[in-house]
Amino acid sequence: MSIQSELELEQLRMVGRIVRLALNAMSAAAEPGVTTAQLDAVCAKVLDEHGATSAPKKVYGFPGTSCISVNDEVVHGVPGARVLQLGDLVKLDVTADKDGFFADAAVTVRVGAVSATADSLARCAEKVSARRVLDLRNRKLVLLGIS
């Protein structure tokens, strides 16, 4: 998608904010004893409250509103009856559509205290992700001729 106006940029930002709200709510709800289906319901509620829809469900017929992967599941896990346990690493992935504008983001959440290996893995992924976002922001500034 190429943004052609300030209005389109604002619409893209709006759906991005909705995705962030969904991820924040899901992250807060990720506790021992909660199922991935319950986390998915949190996502569905946030999207619905803000007039957005699940892009994977709409476009691909994905069975969940969000993708939720636990521990060794890499990405795009289907929410269901799996119960979160203390020490799990949970990947939450939300892609939303609002008025034809799409946003996609993911986070990794620690369920309570995790092993040193799991924490190291999560910290490494977070560091790489943050560095990549900074690289993209810097690239945008260069493309815009801002130094």
The Cα 75–Cα 11 span in angstroms is: 27
Residue 105 burial class via C-beta count within 10 angstroms: exposed 0-12, middle 13-18, buried 19 and up: middle
* Interval 118-145: pLDDT, tens: 899 889 988 988 888 887 777 765 555 5
**What is the chain's length?**
147
The Cα 7–Cα 136 span in angstroms is: 22
The Cα 121–Cα 126 span in angstroms is: 9
Say yes or no to pLDDT of 100 above 90: yes
* Interval 39-91: pLDDT, tens: 999 999 999 999 999 999 999 999 999 999 999 888 899 999 999 999 999 99
Mean pLDDT of 4-18: 93
Is there a contact between 80 and 37 (Cβ–Cβ < 8 Å)? yes
Per-residue pLDDT band at 33 (split at 50, 70, 90):
very high
Is the Cα dihedral 15, 56, 126, 133 positive or negative?
Answer: negative
User: Could you report how far apart the first and last alpha carbons of the chain are, in Å?
Assistant: 25
Q: State residue 9 phi and psi, 5-degree precision.
A: -65, -40
Q: What is the pLDDT of residue 71?
A: 94
